[in-house]
């Protein structure tokens, strides 16, 4: 593939994106145009500002200050990239390879084009210019010994994008096997706790800088700091290592794409194994739920089966795993650091917030994954509040169970008082009920269609898309407000009185659960009426989704 072919295909990609935006209407096109221009201006401005401000501020600063700045930038990039992964991990290639090979280009060229297309995202445009600007400012402010920051930053960005591109191919391959997907879903939450505890254990034998050297995301700040003392080898080694990781990821992604395109993964034996696994799992799934009506039970079980087969479920857990793998050394890597009791009591509610960032993302687009099946809900003689209740139960069961499991594991390694732990267990379903209220409202009033296998909106207007992502990002923290308030009140009362107040926390958690259930029950009736009124508007939005 030569340069002219590459530019022509990039123009084709731009035109396809432009046509998709125009389908949302004139107002939608205007808003997207303003947002696109604003993002580009922000990228250019942040790049120039990072060079100017970085060159003036970093001159004469202590090495520890430089380390803090780069740690903050890397962590900020990590958090934003996790949300990008949540949205785009299961996204198909921008232009399918089988639609390119009739052109005078090779398979390698088509693969390279799709990889380079991943650079066109808001996360890179928001953070990468700042990182590159500061990297250029380092040798200006502190001399040429800090020039290693430039190749380190470029290698870091290459590594992250390559690993993400590989994960897309790997996830699509693994999630075709239902037994493998079930094992992954069961092991990953426990692996997060193990990695987190491993970060705690690092404090016994390593310094913070030593801990940073143990993970790839720490190679950028540690390499820059070592270069300040004249040790160029550390930064050079980090650059080569991250480049090697990126090249290896692209190589494995290329092999996976080639096998999938040539049909090597679709043999009859694999199909027979897939059928047998499906039959075995279906026979083991219980067919009804206690304490609810038959329509609610059927809707809940059907939704659970749908989620069990959806690769988006695994994609929702990946950002939590990434944060656990790369974030725990930053948070727990201080030598000799001992967690105070009052901080340890907040770790359990912190896990509640993490649990609400996974599966409950589907709450805010409850009908998007039904697609054509949403017609069955419209035609069925079922009360609309039962539809909402069944969907909330289906998502709530794995959320609460996995949350409780991780909290029990954390309690084994970082124990808190029995009643503090009991109060946190009670707070999880209370927070989930509040999150359901927000999720039901967004699903009804701001319905969006999602591309198959991803959380990317299709042909959606700006306001529903903004409401969806604001709900996903802010909803869990709003739902956690009663839990934080109850825990803070109990901790404050214990500090003032000097007596244990863990029972007060349990009482406040029970009160929060009762109030949350009352609010949820009342809202369910009203949202059921609104669903009946707006179901004719929701149907074309969620059903007319291209393959």
The residue ranking higher by pLDDT, 357 or 454, is: 357
pLDDT of residue 215: 66
pLDDT of residue 285 exceeding 50? no
Q: Which of 231-235, 243-247, 502-506 has the lowest mean pLDDT?
A: 231-235
Q: Could you give the angle at the alpha carbon of 35 between the alpha carbons of 33 and 37, nearest 5°? A: 70
Instruction: Please say if the pLDDT value at position 206 is more than 50.
Output: no
How high does pLDDT run on average in the chain? 75
Measure Cα distances from 404 to 240, 361, 399, 425 in Å: 42, 18, 9, 7
pLDDT for res 203: 42
Least confident of 132-146, 326-340, 356-370: 326-340
- Going by pLDDT thresholds of 50, 70 and 90, the confidence category of residue 89 is low
Give the mean model confidence (pLDDT) for residues 406-417: 79
| Cβ contact 366:388 at 8 Å | yes
State the average pLDDT over residues 431-454.
Answer: 84
Rounded distance between C-alpha atoms, residue 194 and residue 121, angstroms: 32
Residue 252 pLDDT grade (very low, low, confident, very high; cuts 50, 70, 90): confident
Asked if 84 contacts 121 with a C-beta cutoff of 8 angstroms, the reply is yes
- On the question of pLDDT at 97 being above 70, the answer is no
Is-contact 114 94, C-beta < 8 A?
A: yes
Share of the chain above pLDDT 90, in %: 11
* pLDDT score of 317 more than 50: yes
User: Is residue 320's pLDDT more than 90?
Assistant: no
**Structure tokens of 327?**
């974030």
Q: How confident is the model at residue 451 (pLDDT cuts 50, 70, 90)?
A: low
**How many CB atoms within 10 Å of residue 86?**
23
Sign of CA dihedral 217, 220, 221, 222: positive
Among left, alpha and beta (phi > 0; psi -120 to 50; other), residue 25 is: left
Residue 405 has pLDDT above 60, yes or no: yes
Instruction: Give the residue, 191 or 493, on which the prediction is more confident.
Output: 493
> For the segment 372-383, what is each residue's pLDDT rounded down to a tens digit?
677 787 788 889
Beta partners for 450?
Answer: 457
Instruction: Please work out, in degrees rounded to the nearest 5, the angle formed at the alpha carbon of residue 387 by the alpha carbons of 386 and 393.
Output: 85
Window from 78-82, 358-362, 442-446 with minimum mean pLDDT = 358-362
Q: Is 449 helix (H, G, I), strand (E, B) or coil?
A: strand
DSSP states along 358-419: SGGGGGGGTTTTTGGGHHHHHHS---HHHHHHHHHHHHHHHHHHHHHHHHHHHHHHS---HH
Q: What are the backbone dihedrals phi and psi of residue 100, each rounded to the nearest 5 degrees, phi first?
A: -110, -25
User: What is the residue whose two structure tokens read 């590459």?
Assistant: 6
How large is the average pLDDT for residues 222-227? 82
Relative to beta strand 449-450, strand 457-458 is antiparallel
Residues 6+ apart with CB under 8 A from 220: 70, 74, 149, 152, 153, 156, 238
Burial 465-493 (b: 16+ CB within 10 A, else e): bebbbebbeebbeebbebbbebbeebbee
């Amino acid at each position: 593939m030569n340069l002219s072919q590459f530019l022509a295909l990039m123009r084709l990609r731009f035109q396809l994106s432009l046509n998709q935006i125009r389908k949302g209407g004139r107002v939608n096109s205007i808003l997207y145009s303003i947002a696109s221009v604003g993002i580009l201006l922000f990228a250019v401005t942040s790049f120039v500002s990072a060079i100017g401000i970085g060159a003036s501020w970093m001159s004469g600063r202590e090495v520890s200050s430089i380390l803090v700045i780069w740690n903050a930038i890397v962590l900020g990039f990590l958090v934003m990239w996790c949300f990008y992964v949540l949205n785009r991990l299961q996204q198909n290639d921008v232009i399918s390879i089988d639609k390119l090979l009739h052109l005078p280009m090779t398979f390698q060229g088509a693969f390279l084009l799709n990889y380079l297309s991943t650079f066109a995202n808001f996360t890179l445009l928001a953070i990468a210019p700042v990182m590159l600007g500061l990297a250029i400012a380092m040798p200006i402010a502190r001399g040429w010994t800090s020039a290693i920051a430039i190749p380190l930053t470029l290698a870091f960005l290459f590594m992250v994008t390559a690993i993400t591109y590989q994960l897309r191919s790997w996830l699509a391959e693994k999630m075709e096997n239902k037994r493998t997907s079930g094992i992954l879903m069961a092991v990953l939450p426990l692996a997060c706790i193990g990695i987190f505890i491993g970060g705690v254990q690092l404090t016994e034998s390593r310094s913070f800088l030593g801990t940073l050297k143990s993970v790839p995301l720490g190679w950028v700040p540690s390499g820059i700091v070592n270069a300040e003392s004249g040790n160029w080898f550390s930064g050079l080694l980090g650059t080569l290592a991250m480049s090697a990781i990126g090249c290896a990821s692209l190589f494995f992604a290329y092999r996976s794409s080639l096998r999938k395109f040539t049909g090597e993964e679709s043999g009859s034996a694999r199909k027979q194994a897939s059928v047998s696994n499906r039959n075995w799992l279906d026979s083991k799934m219980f067919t009804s739920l206690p304490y609810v009506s038959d329509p609610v039970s059927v809707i809940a079980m059907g939704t659970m089966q749908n989620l069990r087969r959806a690769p988006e479920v695994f994609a929702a857990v990946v950002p939590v795993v990434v944060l656990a793998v790369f974030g725990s050394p930053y948070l727990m890597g201080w030598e000799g650091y001992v967690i105070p009791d009052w901080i340890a009591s907040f770790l359990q509610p912190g896990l509640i917030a993490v649990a609400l960032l996974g599966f409950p993302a589907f709450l805010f687009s409850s009908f998007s994954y039904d697609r054509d099946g949403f017609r069955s809900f419209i035609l069925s003689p079922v009360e609309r509040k039962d539809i909402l209740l069944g969907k909330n139960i289906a998502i709530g069961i794995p959320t609460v169970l996995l949350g409780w499991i991780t909290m029990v594991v954390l309690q084994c390694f970082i124990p808190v008082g029995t009643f503090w732990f009991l109060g946190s267990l009670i707070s999880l379903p209370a927070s989930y009920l509040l999150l359901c209220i927000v999720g039901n409202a967004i699903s009804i009033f701001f319905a969006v269609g999602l591309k198959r296998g991803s959380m990317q909106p299709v042909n959606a207007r700006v306001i529903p898309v903004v409401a969806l992502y604001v709900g996903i990002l802010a909803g869990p923290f709003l739902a956690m407000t009663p839990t934080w308030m109850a825990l803070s009140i109990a901790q404050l009362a214990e500090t003032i009185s000097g007596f244990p107040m863990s029972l007060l926390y349990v009482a406040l958690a029970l009160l929060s659960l009762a109030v949350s259930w009352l609010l949820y029950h009342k809202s369910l009736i009203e949202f059921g009426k609104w669903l009946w009124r707006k179901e004719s508007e929701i149907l074309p939005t969620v059903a007319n989704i291209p393959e």
